[in-house]
Amino acid sequence: MNVLVARMDNLGDVLLAGPCVRAVAAGADRVVLLTGPRGRAAGELLPGVDEVISWCAPWIDPEPPPVTQEDTDAFVRHLREFSFDAALILTSFHQSPLPLALLLRMAGVPWIGAVCEDYPGSLLDLRHRVPGDPPEPVRMLSLAEEAGFSLPPGDDGGLAIREPLPPVDGLVGDERYVVFHPAASVPARQPSADRSAAIARALSDAGHRVVVTGSPSESTLTKEVAGDALDLGGRTGLAELAAVLAGADVVVAPNTGPAHLAAAVGTPVVSLFAPVVPASRWAPYGVPSEVLGDQHAACKGSRARVCPVPGHPCLDRLAPDAVVDAVARLSRVSSRRPARR
């Protein structure tokens, strides 16, 4: 079978699709992963993926392009070139799989499955429903299982990325360290710069060597947060970041892709989690972790991109000492991990 698996939003969402992808790969001859442009780098790290293709879905991307016939027709023609036997469409609970299912039908895909609450008509062959509020990797894996795919023997269903990871000793040295990744994809999910700087100082004062990470677009924030700590903002690609996270005792991060990347390399995570989305679905999966932040704040369940509550209380009232204490507890777990660097 030649199977398409689609997950078209951010890099963290793509990483969480990993168990589903591996299950499909165990039962298919070839797996092509369809991502949005924001998730492609993560897709290229997933085991079981033979090829990654990308397209910006106007119904999913937070800065959607205009819908044009020229762009849509080109995408459908490109899909048709693969002669897929089947496709699985992975979405968050608030996203619809049906626009992509329609385009896949136009591209000649004969069998399509998705988690879907809406009436799909003839767009889906498998309309899967998931009760309750399971973690996102479990939710996506259940679709693969309902479609007849299963994880291979010995696969525990955790997150994973391709190895070997690139060497990063030249970046981080050979002393133990804790990573603090202060940024998230939207402001509502990250502490303010001042609170993040206070957390970095508290970790340093507690005796930890702190490494601050971030993308190139986040380098202004990481410089402000790092202070005397090592600032790697803008200095790593995704694979290098994975290696930095793999070498850490603990990673401190908000609800963001690098928190899931840390889980994929087996590093414990202190999750600074804003409750705009449920932690039951989106907290770090499959590794020792602690969720901090007021999970009952007024923003709960709002999916807000900018905090709607003055003072951002869910995260900016979080005491830096609480982060230090959580790191200490998880450091004891981390000390029993086999070394990866």
Report the C-alpha gap between 155 and 185 in whole angstroms.
30
pLDDT confidence of residue 341: 46
Close Cβ partners of 78 (under 8 Å, ≥ 6 residues apart): 53, 55
- Tally Cβ neighbours within 10 Å of residue 291: 18
Closest CA to 246 of 329, 163, 154: 163
**Which region among 15-19, 92-96, 196-200 has the lowest average model confidence (pLDDT)?**
92-96
pLDDT confidence of residue 97: 98
Average pLDDT over residues 212-221: 97
pLDDT confidence of residue 337: 60
Average pLDDT, the chain: 96
* pTM, full prediction: 0.96
Alpha helix locations (H) across the chain? 11-16, 18-27, 40-43, 69-80, 98-106, 136-146, 169-172, 193-205, 219-226, 238-247, 257-264, 279-282, 313-316, 320-334
pLDDT single digits (tens) 105-127: 999 999 999 999 999 999 999 99
**Does position 333 have pLDDT exceeding 80, yes or no?**
no
Close Cβ partners of 231 (under 8 Å, ≥ 6 residues apart): 212, 219, 222, 223
Under a CB-based contact definition with an 8 Å cutoff, are residues 98 and 121 in contact?
A: no
**Does position 275 have pLDDT exceeding 90, yes or no?**
yes
Average pLDDT over residues 171-186: 96
Average pLDDT over residues 87-108: 96
**Partner residues linked to 178 by β-bridges:** 210
The verdict on whether omega for the bond into residue 153 sits within 30 degrees of 0, i.e. cis, is no
**Which region among 14-23, 97-106, 286-295, 331-340 has the lowest average model confidence (pLDDT)?**
331-340
**Does position 2 have pLDDT exceeding 90, yes or no?**
yes
pLDDT band at 76 (very low <50, low <70, confident <90, very high): very high
Percent of the chain beyond pLDDT 90?
96
Under a CB-based contact definition with an 8 Å cutoff, are residues 313 and 294 in contact?
A: yes
Six token digits for residue 168: 């990063």
**Does position 336 have pLDDT exceeding 70, yes or no?**
no
Give the three-state DSSP class for 97: coil
pLDDT confidence of residue 334: 65
Under a CB-based contact definition with an 8 Å cutoff, are residues 8 and 57 in contact?
A: yes
**Does position 339 have pLDDT exceeding 70, yes or no?**
no
pLDDT single digits (tens) 131-177: 988 999 999 999 999 999 999 999 999 999 999 999 999 999 999 99
